[in-house]
Amino acid sequence: MQFLRKVGTWTGVFVLWLVHFLPLEWIGAIGAALGSILYRFGRGRVTRVNLALCFPEMSERERHELGLKHFRMLGRNAVELSVMVWGSERELLELIQIEGLEHLKAAAEGGSPVIVLAPHFIGLNMGGIRVAHEYPGTSSIYSKQKNPVLDRIFLKARTRFGNPHLVSRQEGLRSVIRVIRSGKPFYFLPDMDFGIRDAIFSPFFGVPTATITALPRLAKITGAKVVPVITRQVGAGYVARFYPAWEDYPTGDIEADVRRMNAFIEDRVKEMPEQYFWAHKRFKTRPPGEPSPYKRK
């Protein structure tokens, strides 16, 4: 069985490698078709639950169409991993544009510590690669993949340009603090459900949501400025847009600081609801006594 899994993995990698020779329009079309299939047989139900919680004013049909659109974009992004890993530097630079880099450079001037807030939108990894290319020496957390073949591929994609410093999630916050204090802009993704540990329930689209408190805590400990970046799928490519550094952050009020982060992400989601990562069980951790919305009734 293990041998068959390895054969299946390497076959998938070979197919992905072949795909990167195709025109980008073809790659996008293949990915969109794959996404449609995954929506039906993958985490389409999780997506619809999330959308029902966040957009109760929408009809069920509207949420279905939004979820399908999301998965088609998600599938396209997954297949474009082939370009991230094997595409030329020119192809990647044409695929991923960047805006507002001056905000990052201003915040990081003189080696000042910076946390780049990068919420889970579809283009997240594309933006990370382009940021590393434009600003060598950035850092981020890396979660080791269970599949060693996929782990090597994701590592190759993440480290192709700019010699980024990747901190293993298992190393803990001390390693993260050292990296931030060293002046390496830290590309941080704190908007997923990691359980109740080091988290508080903060509203996200009006739903009490388990949200880790690491962003304001790290900003306070290191004195880092927080510079958000959102990567959008636009046309046949992506645009990573930096926003100005947050003023008066953190405030010392942990609940208010976490709410500010969630409110910022919520505003960006409203601008492009089809591009937030709805396939994740964002509301899995619930307050005591409240059942999981993902349990089948």
Question: Which pLDDT does position 71 carry in this prediction?
Answer: 96
Asked whether residue 124 is assigned to any structural domain, the reply reads yes
**DSSP string across the chain:** -HHHHHHHHHHHHHHHHHHTTS-HHHHHHHHHHHHHHHHHHSSHHHHHHHHHHH-TTS-HHHHHHHHHHHHHHHHHHHHTHHHHHHS-HHHHHHHEEEE-HHHHHHHTGGG--EEEE---BTTHHHHHHHHHHHSTT-EEEEPPPSSHHHHHHHHHHHTSSS--EEEEGGG-HHHHHHHHHTT--EEE---S---STTEEEEEETTEEEEEE-HHHHHHHHHT-EEEEEEEEEETTEEEEEE-PPPSS---S-HHHHHHHHHHHHHHHHHH-GGGB-TTS-TT-S-STTPPPTTS--
> What is the total count of domains within the chain?
1
Q: What pTM value is reported for the model?
A: 0.91
Q: Is the peptide bond before 287 cis (omega within 30 degrees of 0)?
A: no
Asked whether residue 297 is assigned to any structural domain, the reply reads no
Whole-number Å distance between alpha carbons of 164 and 201? 32
pLDDT digits (tens, 9 = 90+) for 101-131: 999 999 998 889 999 999 999 999 999 999 8
pLDDT digits (tens, 9 = 90+) for 199-209: 999 999 999 99
Asked whether residue 290 is assigned to any structural domain, the reply reads no
Residue ranges making up the domain that contains 202: 2-275
Comparing C-alpha atoms, which of 259, 58, 80, 81 is closest to residue 156? 81
Asked whether residue 286 is assigned to any structural domain, the reply reads no
Q: What is the pLDDT along the chain (297 residues), one digit of tens a residue?
A: 565 466 567 777 788 888 888 888 899 999 999 999 989 888 899 999 999 999 999 999 999 999 999 999 999 999 998 888 898 888 888 899 999 999 999 999 888 999 999 999 999 999 999 988 888 888 898 887 777 777 888 888 888 888 888 888 777 788 899 999 998 899 999 999 999 989 999 999 999 999 999 999 999 999 999 999 999 999 889 999 999 999 999 999 999 999 999 999 999 999 999 999 999 999 999 999 899 999 886
Asked whether residue 268 is assigned to any structural domain, the reply reads yes
| b/e sequence 214-242, b meaning 16+ C-beta within 10 Å | bbbbbbeebebbbbbbbbbbeeebbbbbb
